[in-house]
Amino acid sequence: QFQLSNHAGHSELCDFANKCNPQSMILFHAPEESRDVIFSEMSEKINIHLPVNGTPIHINS
């Protein structure tokens, strides 16, 4: 069971991602610096996408 919020902090986001154990994750609606920190901490375990407005993201299932 997960408690969800659209205003989670860094540790809550990382904890949620680790519990879900996803293959891929898309980081958006966050300052670029915050996205970069999460990317550097988690990209070895999870295929992380940093979207650019108007650019499609392809995720293999």
Asked if residue 58 is part of any domain, the answer here is no
What is the token pair recorded at 17?
């991602």
What is the token pair recorded at 37?
């920190």
The pTM assigned to this predicted structure is 0.72
Backbone angles phi, psi at 46, to 5 degrees: -130, 140
Asked if residue 38 is part of any domain, the answer here is yes
CB atoms within 10 A of CB 4: 7
Q: Please, what is the average pLDDT of the chain? A: 87
Tell me the residue range of the domain where 37 lies. Answer: 10-49
Positions of E strands within 4-58: 24-26, 47-49
Question: For 19-43, what is each residue's pLDDT tens digit?
Answer: 999 999 998 888 889 889 999 999 9
Asked if residue 4 is part of any domain, the answer here is no
Q: Give the total number of structural domains in the chain.
A: 1
